[in-house]
Structure 1
Amino acid sequence: MDNKIERREFIKKISTFGLGMGLVGASAPQVFADGSPNEKIIVGVMGTNSRGAAVAEGFSKLPGAEVAYICDVDDQAIQNGIEAVEAGGQKRTPEGVKDFRRILEDKDLDALAIAAPDHWHAPASILALKAGKHVYVEKPCSHNPHEGELLVQAAKKYGKVVQMGNQRRSWPNVVQGIQEVKEGVIGDAYFARAWYANTRGSIGHGQTAPVPSGLDYDLWQGPAPRREYKDNLIHYNWHWFWHWGTGEILNNGTHFIDLCRWGLEVDYPEQVSSQGGRYAYDDDWETPDTQITSYDFQEGKTISWEGRSCNGQHIEGNSVGASFHGTEGSLVIHGNGYSTFDNDGNELKKVTVDSGDALDTTGPGFDLDADHLANFRDAIRNGSSLNSPIEDANKSVLLCQLGNIAHRTGRTLNCDVNTGKILDDEEAMKLWSREYEPGWEPTI
């Protein structure tokens, strides 16, 4: 059976579905208590070489929002962001700024959207919160677990809206599929699987080179201790260096591990193990290109992640996705759709919608981003509940980070099921945080 639903009609019902775990009725701060719900939110976007340009265009198209600033350390990326806003139809041309900290002084700025490299996500978010701004931060919300803790604390301290860009929390058919899992369509769900498969090439061996004109490399490094510029680092390959990036499990796994945790209704694991390595090429890539990570929870449930950065063979007919398995069947998420199966493999129901190219590095586009951005806008304007508030989103990010720590230490981690903290392993806990460039340490 092909069950297509009207997207706009369904989105009206999302608030009744329980978008997070225990989040129904949890309201965002009432920040426009004396203003009109029709008032515009004024946004600055930080990091617009790729994903950030899509975010900027999304906000430029969003009714009730306006992009005032495009911030990037690279002149060309600033131009990319400005052109994206223009393509979105915004009449006002945003101002291009290299150092995002300058725009935080603007009292008319309501929010900062952050799509810079991972090592900037939490430090920039915290600086924005301290300046009284709301924050929309792309996944992952932090480079390491300690930064995630600080960000959650800062959001509570300053009372601002902080939403992570795990947009599938707002995709109508995904919301419906997750709700069906919770309601028992596959019986008692006890196992969930997340995956990502791509065929990335080698990044080679970088050579020390002059910093390109128009790039402020010192500001690009920001909180990270200084390293010399190499020609295979910017703008994308930083993902595969521990110093700045977090590997595929946080680059793409965050989205799908988050769905698994959401559907199984679990928080912190008892044990985490991870196997894999850099197999495909001999180059500078440090994070694993193949990673199999398992999370066991005290509720008697398990999540598995399979990431293959250099072998794009599909799983369940899709390069990316998540599936749930229970006592009476399975449910597979595919794009903004899903299918249910009985335990004999017979498809019982299929919900579909066009979802674009899942491997587009800029994201799925405004058609699917729109609801997540609108949810952020509405939380600012009238206190609507967030679909991915930072205190919940950070739990999924922490799962991914624990997978990396298990991989880097080469052993199973035992965790506190109430906090996620690693137990009785001083070496592993050294990876809970990082060193910072002096003077750049994030504080709340």
Structure 2
Amino acid sequence: MSDSITRRHFIGSTAASTAAVGLGFSSLKALAESSPNEKVVVGVMGLSRGSALAAGFAKLPNVEVKYLCDVDQDRIPALTKRIEETSGKAPEGITDFRRILDDKSVDALVCAAPNHWHAPATILGCAAGKHVYVEKPCSHNPHEGELMVAAARKHNRAVQMGSQRRSGDGWQEAIQKLHEGAIGRIYLVRSWYTNARGTIGTGKVVDVPANLDYDLWQGPAPRRPYLDNVVHYNWHWRWHWGNGELGNNGVHTLDVARWGLNVDFPTRVTSSGGRYHWQDDQETPDTHTVCFEFSDKRQITWEGLSCNKHRAGFVTFFGDGGTMEIDSNGSYVQYDEGDKLVAEGKGPNRGDDEHLANFVAAIRNDKPLDLNAEIEKGHRSTMLCHLGNIAQRTGVTLTCDPSNGHIIGNDAAMALWAREYESGWEPQV
């Protein structure tokens, strides 16, 4: 599936997005396209990031948020009230997402649970006939991403990854200019992410809180004792459940980099870094540099500093005819070969609302591939994160098959291609 933007698609998307910005959120009816009277019913799983997604879906015309699901029952009441105030109807609060799958009136599962849940929930959702909006990164390991694409194709379901910048009009305008040759042949993309995260400390085994279904929180992951510094966020920094900063926020920048460079899988991946700032339980790097080499002498680099927020970054494209910088909201500046400013554009937002509307439109129009971040695109971008992490964990340069990203001639690296599952939770397509 190509990442290029056709002129027809760009003009249509931009026109709709511009209308939405100018007229207010009610004009998202235009973004949700035809048949707004055909109600789309969703259930949201995971109410951290899922709270924003539920609120976004609730504002779309004739979209019902029927279920709010979280294994921590304390997270449900406040969001239920918020959604009721927005939509006029209170969703049902549940702790087991399988209730959503069993309800034939539900059109779509929204999965914003931890990363180890993304693929298993998506695959089960597709098998149950649900369309799926799944947060980034779309998978916990490369094999899962391949299974997700296969599940979407087998069941003909719309599966959208939450890389919302693909739906932002500023981003689409900038990428369109790059694809049309605004800075010539692009040979290098630099991407980066910074934050000022504190230490996660040293966890202690304690009793599971009464409000938490820890067994279901673990779900497909093999069982571990409950630690007091993992749930609800610091699982990101443990390989058993998360993918580090590269999978957490790096996937956003790498998705834009890959989109603009119009590449799929790399030929070589090198990586360095580690836990440099704090000494604690975190297993994933807080300082991380990755280089992805592609055919035809093209390259993407990513730098992640989780504990030093010197500057907010995002993506810079370097071509033989100039340079383009794009910030996190889609505003861009373009320079010529002499580094003279020649063009700029203002991106009003990250594209969150437009991304949800794009997903709803694909469902209503029965066009499961008509998605800005269709799962095959999401898998390819997430694959860069997995390969970067595997290179860092093994300490070797990876040679990859550019047709599918598979690692060549390195059994130790390929051992990280998939994972073991808790018995009964193995994803199958």
Match of 1:352 in 2: 346
1:140 aligns with 2:133: no
Q: CA–CA distance in 2 between the matches of 1:331 and 1:54?
A: 31
Match of 2:38 in 1: 39
For residues 104-131 of structure 1, the C-alpha deviation after alignment (integer angstroms, 9 at most, x for no partner) is: 1111000000100000000000111111
* Comparing 97-106 and 340-349, the one that deviates more: 340-349
Q: CA–CA distance in 1 between the matches of 2:99 and 2:62?
A: 24
Q: Kindly tell me the number of residue pairs found equivalent between the two proteins.
A: 401
Match of 1:190 in 2: 187
Q: CA–CA distance in 1 between the matches of 2:80 and 2:281?
A: 33
1:395 corresponds, among 369, 380, 400, to: 380
Tell me if structure 2 keeps the 8 A contact 1:118–1:140: yes
In structure 2, stretches of 5+ residues that fail to align are: 1-8, 17-33
Match of 2:425 in 1: 440
In structure 1, stretches of 5+ residues that fail to align are: 1-9, 18-34, 356-366
For residues 305-325 of structure 1, the C-alpha deviation after alignment (integer angstroms, 9 at most, x for no partner) is: 0011001011xxxx1311100
Q: CA–CA distance in 1 between the matches of 2:141 and 2:409?
A: 19
Tell me if structure 1 keeps the 8 A contact 2:171–2:347: no
**What SS does the aligned partner of 2:416 have?**
helix
**What SS does the aligned partner of 2:227 have?**
coil
What TM-score do the two structures reach when normalised by structure 1?
A: 0.88
Question: Offset at 1:82?
Answer: 1.6
1:267 aligns with 2:264: yes
Match of 1:328 in 2: 321
Question: Offset at 1:337?
Answer: 1.1
Q: Residue 342 and residue 12 in structure 1: after superposition, are their counterparts in 2 closer, same or farther (change >3 A)?
A: closer
Q: Residue 262 and residue 353 in structure 1: after superposition, are their counterparts in 2 closer, same or farther (change >3 A)?
A: closer
1:377 corresponds, among 345, 353, 360, to: 360
* Comparing 35-44 and 149-158, the one that deviates more: 35-44
1:340 corresponds, among 334, 337, 353, to: 334
Query: Would you identify which runs of 4 or more consecutive aligned residues in structure 1 move more than 6 Å?
Result: none
**What SS does the aligned partner of 1:432 have?**
coil
Equivalences for residues 100-119 of structure 1 within 5 A: 100-119=97-116
1:427 aligns with 2:412: yes
**What SS does the aligned partner of 2:264 have?**
coil
Tell me if structure 1 keeps the 8 A contact 2:257–2:315: yes
Q: CA–CA distance in 1 between the matches of 2:74 and 2:94?
A: 12
Match of 2:12 in 1: 13
Equivalences for residues 28-427 of structure 1 within 5 A: 36=35, 38-48=37-47, 50-87=48-85, 89-314=86-311, 319-334=312-327, 335-355=329-349, 368-384=351-367, 385-427=370-412
Tell me if structure 1 keeps the 8 A contact 2:332–2:347: no
**What SS does the aligned partner of 1:208 have?**
coil
CA RMSD, Structure 1 to Structure 2 (Å): 1.7
Q: Residue 155 and residue 116 in structure 1: after superposition, are their counterparts in 2 closer, same or farther (change >3 A)?
A: same
Residue identity opposite 2:67 in structure 1: Y
Tell me if structure 1 keeps the 8 A contact 2:203–2:228: yes
**What SS does the aligned partner of 1:192 have?**
strand
Question: Offset at 1:288?
Answer: 0.3
Q: CA–CA distance in 2 between the matches of 1:84 and 1:98?
A: 18
Question: Offset at 1:136?
Answer: 0.3
Question: Offset at 1:342?
Answer: 2.0
For residues 311-349 of structure 1, the C-alpha deviation after alignment (integer angstroms, 9 at most, x for no partner) is: 1011xxxx1311100001111111221110123332222
Residue identity opposite 1:100 in structure 2: F
